[in-house]
Structure 1
Amino acid sequence: MANVSTLRFGAQTDEVTSLLRIVNMVRLGEAVTRPEIGRVTGLGRGVVTQRVDRAVEMGFLEDAEYAPSSGGRAPRTLRFRSERGRIVVCALGGLHIHVGVTDLDGEIRAEAHRVWDIASGPDETLAVATSMVDELLETDGNAPVWAVVVGLPGPVDFETGRPVAPPIMPGWNNFDVRSRFEERYSAPVWVDNDVNILAAGERARRREDNPDLIYCKVGTGIGAGLVSHGRLHRGANGAAGDMGHVRVPGAEQQCRCGKIGCLEAVAGGWALIRDAREAVAAGGTGAIADILASGAELAPEDISKAAERGDALAISLIQASARQIGEAVAALVNMFNPSVIVIGGAVAAAGELFLAEVRHRVYELSLPLATRDLSIVTSVNDAREPLRGGVDLAREQLFEAVFPRWFAEGRPTLGAIRGAAIPA
């Protein structure tokens, strides 16, 4: 058997490959006894025993209860030691911070939520976010942090972990978000667009289907996360799916990005608030007019709720947004040919009223073959969606993308993954 030095610095041998595979098979529940591992991998009994013993020695696996007997001696099951480390997810939205701590199986152990304006800037925002995380970690045992995932409401270069010209995040352009978290938690950090994290969460719910899906978020802004054969598609620089800034023919509204006629400037939540204010100023009445008359801030959720209750102005705004979203999604359907489109976000919370209009436009404008097996559904609308998506992304990166780099250490380190020293 190779020693730790060989495992760490040598080429990825058959032994290393099979060891990694066995750990992941047990972790995912694909094979949890030694006989099952042998049948799935084709490895001999002695080799399986060696690999499992090694995984146990390194702290990844341990023996658990006995499995049901099939006629002979009952085999002992193996379990992945998910309690050895913790995963931190920090989901930053335009107007909120949502943080959570999970074990390595993705079980949420603690979470916290706070209203916050992302326009407060990176230093102040990340100070608040890390303080929230620290409080959770202090009350959740002493297992080390193995990974951190940060979601941002704007374009992100996934390779560097830096936001790039985010329209609603003044002061964030090219800010080194990854280093801020790595220095604090001495753990690898992945930073991604918030819609990609939502798409990862939806992928996790449909893992067995190895899906091709689009997660379309219609909230204050608009974005899409693309999953192809179970893999997130980010494009060359992480900009894939930024449908909110696709030009709408004939539109003349100025977008927050500085351009004219973007989809977000026509159909996003902030655009609906603008149009609602204009309609009320022109004499419109109803629930939205009542909210504005009270002096309260109007939010996209207010328009969705008013539409569900039958408010005429709200319904017209929601349907107009849905028509434009449907046209943009139809173009994605023709190019990407997904099997599932999931619609989420505050504006889409209007439910079937919004979804029916999107479906109508997609089926009207897309090719018959592209829509033959297509389903268009609303998201589960679970407040924990960003946390579950972040955990799925973290586990994918840890145990698939970079596992060979760090597994000989017994836990992920910055030195193994990034080639960087761990801060004192």
Structure 2
Amino acid sequence: MGALMAEPDGQPLLAEQLDTLVTVLDLARSGTARTRPEIIRHSGLGRTVVTQRVAHLIDAGLLEEGTLGPSNGGRAPRQLHFRANAGHLLVAELGATSISVGIADLAGQLVAQQEEPWTIASGAEATLTEVERMFDTMLDTRNPNDPQIWGIGVGVPGPVEFATGRPVAPPIMPGWDGYQVRDRLAERYDVPVWVDNEVNLMALGEFRGGLARGERDLVYLKIGTGIGAGLISAGQLHRGNKGCAGDVGHVAILDDASVICRCGNIGCLEAFAGGAALARDGLAAATDGRSPYLARLLTKGHSIEARDVAKAATHGDLASVELLTRSGRLVGEMLATLVNFFNPSLVLVGGGVAGAGDLLLATIKQTVYRRSLPLATRDLRIARSPLDDRAGLMGAAFMVIDELMSRERLTAWIGHKSPIGRSDVVHPVPVQ
């Protein structure tokens, strides 16, 4: 078997040794093991192997030694730290009505963040031009000594074929079907790029850096303009065969032909319970006089949005209370089915509509607990996502980090000490 890269002493590192290298790196970067003895204890690897792998990772700039750690009777071991600032990442979350961008370190922590209103229906060319402008603005404000950009992660509001980074028939993204998002950004910034559905990344952000840390089975439900779910199953993000797992917004919940969903079907959940549906029904309530509060906004030239319905409900507007309660009940009925089927330990609810008030979340909870099997809800927690607008950006960072540090991809760039100029690592060569 041929050599893939060299040890610090010049000896070749063989393919079968990659597993031990990645094991040591994962233990260090997760904080599970902070010294060589701890790595030996957690991994079961021999002292010599651990010493060699640690030396390799230090030479590559991924680990560094710190102060002496506590002693267990012998010589105190040196602390080991993952170098989260060895590189930085550009991350973007594209929503239906906004674009968020940020810069993150290799531990998934955001060091900068910016958000602007935008309509995803403007098309791929215009939207990605805006993303590039926002990226460039953030890069222009950095200091010369700041870490270089090692990769880019992007979330979009539609199904994505993860292997190619291309959206596939996204209902609310006209002109995006099959667009080469990855290739465009990789060519411009000369780093590896990964693209996924935005709700998948929100789930990943909470799982790795939020309230869901330590959970194994999680549902992240986003209620915004549309509705979608991200699924963590047995500690792994579940994308499905073609990347459209969790597209619950298009589950049929009503046999009502009067409302046609943006996907072209009738009866879809988001067509009756999402943010666009609340805005539509709120406007109707304002127009026909059922909602005095919303009617006053309308007479002042204010367009009715979902957050206006939520605010009206907090002021006791009965029509708005009915709209939010109905939305919560419909979402809860869908979620109860998902809870029975998937049996998660935690459901996190996020998105612009979910953060608009307590009534919607309370109704969702009540419906889920009433409609789900007792065993499925025995230890179930349902809570609002605490990361809120950071979840998707952090998830995009974790996506890139996990891919870069994977066994298949680490070998393609670690010899260069960074993946800069190695955009091809998204297509790993199988390691035997």
Bin for the TM-score computed over the shorter chain: over 0.9
What per-residue deviation string (whole Å, max 9, x for no partner) do you get for residues 157-204 of structure 1? 222211122222221121111111111121211111111111111211
CA distance in 2, matches of 1:83, 1:335: 41
Once the two structures are TM-superposed, the CA of residue 42 in structure 1 deviates from its matched residue by 2.6
Equivalent pair of 1:291/1:298 in contact (CA under 8 Å): yes
1:51 corresponds to 2:56: no
Equivalent pair of 2:92/2:153 in contact (CA under 8 Å): yes
Correspondence for 2:128: 126
Once the two structures are TM-superposed, the CA of residue 3 in structure 1 deviates from its matched residue by 5.7
CA distance in 2, matches of 1:377, 1:48: 41
Correspondence for 1:303: 309
Correspondence for 1:225: 230
What per-residue deviation string (whole Å, max 9, x for no partner) do you get for residues 248-288 of structure 1? 23222111111111111111111111111222222223322
Correspondence for 1:418: 427
Equivalent pair of 1:155/1:164 in contact (CA under 8 Å): yes
CA distance in 2, matches of 1:145, 1:401: 21
1:315 corresponds to 2:321: yes
What per-residue deviation string (whole Å, max 9, x for no partner) do you get for residues 108-145 of structure 1? 22222111111111111111111111221233345332
Match of 1:60 among 42, 45, 62: 62
Match of 1:212 among 212, 217, 223: 217
Match of 1:150 among 137, 151, 154: 154
After superposition, residues 5-404 of structure 1 pair within 5 angstroms as 5=5, 12-13=15-16, 15-141=17-143, 142-204=146-208, 205-206=210-211, 208-252=213-257, 253-380=259-386, 382-400=388-406, 402-404=408-410
Once the two structures are TM-superposed, the CA of residue 358 in structure 1 deviates from its matched residue by 1.2
CA distance in 2, matches of 1:144, 1:159: 25
- Assess, with a 3 A threshold, how the Cα gap between structure 1 residues 31 and 403 changes in structure 2: closer, same or farther: farther
- For structure 1, list consecutive stretches of 5 or more residues without a partner in the other structure: none
Once the two structures are TM-superposed, the CA of residue 346 in structure 1 deviates from its matched residue by 2.2
What per-residue deviation string (whole Å, max 9, x for no partner) do you get for residues 25-79 of structure 1? 1111111212222222233333322222122222221211221334433221112
CA distance in 2, matches of 1:310, 1:68: 59
- Overall identity of the aligned pairs, in %: 45
TM-score by length of structure 1 reads: 0.92
- Number of aligned residues: 418
- Assess, with a 3 A threshold, how the Cα gap between structure 1 residues 223 and 361 changes in structure 2: closer, same or farther: same
Alpha-carbon RMSD across the aligned residues, in angstroms, is 2.3
CA distance in 2, matches of 1:350, 1:415: 42
Equivalent pair of 1:304/1:348 in contact (CA under 8 Å): no
CA distance in 1, matches of 2:400, 2:279: 35
Equivalent pair of 1:90/1:151 in contact (CA under 8 Å): yes
- For structure 2, list consecutive stretches of 5 or more residues without a partner in the other structure: none
Equivalent pair of 1:219/1:348 in contact (CA under 8 Å): yes
- Assess, with a 3 A threshold, how the Cα gap between structure 1 residues 148 and 260 changes in structure 2: closer, same or farther: same
Amino acid at match of 1:286: P
- Assess, with a 3 A threshold, how the Cα gap between structure 1 residues 417 and 154 changes in structure 2: closer, same or farther: closer
Equivalent pair of 1:157/1:163 in contact (CA under 8 Å): yes
Amino acid at match of 2:77: P
Amino acid at match of 1:220: T
- Assess, with a 3 A threshold, how the Cα gap between structure 1 residues 207 and 187 changes in structure 2: closer, same or farther: farther
